[in-house]
Structure 1
Amino acid sequence: MNLVITDSGLGGLSVCAQLMLLLNKCADSGLSAFTADDLHITYVNAVPSNELGYNSMSGREEQLATFDKILRNVKKLFAPNHIFVACGTLSVLLKDIQFKSNSLFKIEGILPIGLKQLLDSLHQNSQATVIIFATPTTIDAKTLQHELFNKGIAEKRIITQACPELATQISNDPEGSKVAEHIHHWVQQALRKLPSDYAAPLIVYLGCTHYSYRESLFHDAFLQEGFSEITLLNPNLAAAESLA
């Protein structure tokens, strides 16, 4: 089977790595005859150029046209059986992509996986508040927020924090020293939005696949602000498990 995993950058590579690890573990344990060798996995960076990312485009129309063109080229070049969009930003565009409606193969995004994580965690902790960190496009689309509202989650339990340029900063700062400052800044901004009567525990959702590379820095930032016990949700591993 030809599987294409795509992202607007390098965040989705963590999904690829986790998927390969899971497939090999299953094969080694004898739990499954399905191995990494049964899959031909191609990773596609769907950013059109280093100077132009989706969150810096003129608007949704340009984002849709760009991603649609890339998906059509992916089909021509790789003849996939399955395309998995390992990107929160691009996942919110999928429902309006013309290419998807004309495709005979499976194409899906990471957003429903993250939504399930959020719902499971919020239902297990009926008083908990969640902070969603994501790109401006993901936050502005309000897809996650609306789905949570529709599933009965009260609006006051949901805090959203857009983190402009954080994905790029993570990619460009392998040492992580500057990124730590940026993450701390966005954590502080998010915590200021908490209502005075918010109830613990606090759930933190990383809504961009790039953020998983610096999961520990999010933990550190919350610890510095006095939040030693948080539940951190990272959809990357769950995405890999869904593909395995």
Structure 2
Amino acid sequence: MKTILLCDSGLGGLDIAARLIEQIRSMGDGAFRLIYFNAWPHPQCGYNQLKNDQERSQVFTAAFEGVARFHPDFCLIACNTLSIVYRKIAAVKPSSFPVIEMVRPASEFFAETMRCRPELRLLILGTDTTIRSGIYTDQLIQAGISAERLASLACPGLATVLEDGFDSPAVRHKIAAAAEQAEAMIPADTPLALALCCTHFGYAETLWKTEFAGRFRQEPQLLNPNASILHQPELQSCLQQAGNPKIKVEFFSRFPMPQTKMQFFAEFFKGIVPELSEALLQAHCDEALFMLPEGIF
């Protein structure tokens, strides 16, 4: 049985987990253990709330030691924020097992779209950590996309409120605020694409279109890169080596996630990927999943 581990901070990566399960179902014979590893470190503090990049690296290094104890055949970092942190960690200490993070496949996806549609401006949307890093702008410029065609906007707190519902007043308020800010940055008649650089953001596709269409003269093109991480040749090779859609799905976290959130997502995925829905309802919670560095929390 091959073990594939998806690492995220929160529940946004469940979208990628669902896509992966559907992909595995279509690939033949074999058996897989799919682990969803929630690397959220503390009930009152996520990675974006830590003081600086050094603290983020220290905490995720500890979390990744927990990942390694599962001895995965493949690891997907299904989170843009953690992908950026992981790049810094891996530059010092590469992983002993294959890892794919979001930045490379997402950047390739965005760049290809911009080449095919030279009239587009791209608004990069993400968490504070993702936008502050400037990594997607840098990657796209390196790929030959003019800096004049790029803009970035942080959406603080949006990922968190999306876990309570995809169409709540809080979500609407934050996406409406992002559209208002974008209107001040980009002319209203500009053909616009939105790069959703947080795995949570795709859950609110309808609101992104509605709120931005109200500020710009045409509905924006949404670029959700969540599927791009699953198209990488290294992962495809791993999946093809062991077919048979026998899939065991498990969810692990240091602490219990709010029951309302787990039930909401379990119900959302129930009719699509029941294995994932069941894993959410039977979540494994253990503070020893990974040990937090001293002096940070």
Query: Same fold by TM (over 0.5)?
Result: yes
Listed as ranges, the matches of 1:50-199 within 5 Å are: 50-76=43-69, 78-97=70-89, 101-173=93-165, 175-194=167-186, 196=187
- CA drift of 1:149 comes to 1.4
2:225 is aligned to: 235
* Separation in structure 2 between the aligned mates of residue 99 and residue 183 of structure 1, nearest angstrom: 35
Listed as ranges, the matches of 1:3-42 within 5 Å are: 3-24=4-25, 26=26, 32-33=27-28, 38-42=31-35
Could you state the TM-score of these two structures normalised by the residue count of structure 2? 0.73
8 Å contact kept, 2:61–2:89? yes
* Separation in structure 1 between the aligned mates of residue 165 and residue 43 of structure 2, nearest angstrom: 15
Code of the aligned partner of 1:21: E
2:3 is aligned to: 2
Structure 1: unaligned runs, 5 residues or longer: 27-31
1:29 is aligned to: none
Aligned CA distance change for structure 1 residues 173 and 199 (closer, same or farther; 3 Å): closer
Code of the aligned partner of 1:18: R
- What percent identity do the matched residue pairs reach? 28
* Separation in structure 1 between the aligned mates of residue 51 and residue 45 of structure 2, nearest angstrom: 10
* Separation in structure 1 between the aligned mates of residue 102 and residue 92 of structure 2, nearest angstrom: 15
8 Å contact kept, 2:39–2:60? yes
* Separation in structure 2 between the aligned mates of residue 174 and residue 147 of structure 1, nearest angstrom: 30
8 Å contact kept, 1:205–1:233? yes
- Report the 3-state secondary structure (helix = DSSP H, G, I; strand = E; otherwise coil) of the residue aligned with 2:28: coil
Code of the aligned partner of 1:182: K
Corresponding residue to 2:40 among 27, 38, 47:
47
- CA drift of 1:39 comes to 1.9
- CA drift of 1:236 comes to 1.2
- CA drift of 1:75 comes to 1.1
Aligned CA distance change for structure 1 residues 199 and 181 (closer, same or farther; 3 Å): closer
Code of the aligned partner of 2:88: D
Aligned CA distance change for structure 1 residues 167 and 151 (closer, same or farther; 3 Å): same
Structure 2: unaligned runs, 5 residues or longer: 237-297
- CA drift of 1:38 comes to 2.5
Q: How many residues align?
A: 233
Could you state the TM-score of these two structures normalised by the residue count of structure 1? 0.89
Corresponding residue to 1:209 among 199, 202, 217:
199
- Report the 3-state secondary structure (helix = DSSP H, G, I; strand = E; otherwise coil) of the residue aligned with 1:161: strand
- CA drift of 1:205 comes to 0.7
- Report the 3-state secondary structure (helix = DSSP H, G, I; strand = E; otherwise coil) of the residue aligned with 1:69: helix
8 Å contact kept, 2:191–2:218? no
8 Å contact kept, 1:184–1:221? yes
